[in-house]
Amino acid sequence: MKKIALYVFAILFLLAGVSHFVLEPFFTHAMPDWVPFRPVIVYISGIMEIVLAIGLMRKRTRRKAGVLIAIFLVLIFPVNIYMALVPEQYSIPTSALWLRLPLQFVLIWWVLKVRKVV
């Protein structure tokens, strides 16, 4: 069961990374206008998510990748807050934007648990 949880998380994180390339305009728009180089940041974060997901799947790099993913999730949390504060800018229900905030902590807990799978 723990291995399933590990691979489900890794695949979801990998798909999130790929989505940064497929849905780049959405992710760029998710950041405040005052943030410079928004498309570049979107692409770099997508690459980071893909690389970290692969690292999480490999036993040799799993522990470090799990910690780095947790840090990454903390660093992107302000974007989630921004989106919840300006829901009129998105075609996502306001309730979903607010529910994402506690979900971020669940994701952090989840990755810190699965990084220990041997």
Q: Is the model more confident about 108 or about 90? A: 108
**Mean pLDDT score across all residues of the chain:** 96
Residue 118 confidence (pLDDT) above 90: no
115 φ/ψ angles, rounded to the nearest 5 degrees = -65, -15
For residue range 6-64, list pLDDT tens digits in order: 999 999 999 999 999 999 999 999 998 999 999 999 999 999 999 999 999 999 999 99
Contact of 20 with 49, CB cutoff 8 Å: yes
- Burial class, 56, CB count within 10 angstroms (exposed 0-12 / middle 13-18 / buried 19+): buried
Q: pTM score, two decimals?
A: 0.92
- Report the pLDDT value the prediction gives residue 34, as an integer from 0 to 100: 93
Residue 109 confidence (pLDDT) above 90: yes
3-state class (DSSP) for residue 91 = coil
Distance set, CA 114 to CA 28, 41, 66, 87 (Å) = 30, 27, 8, 32
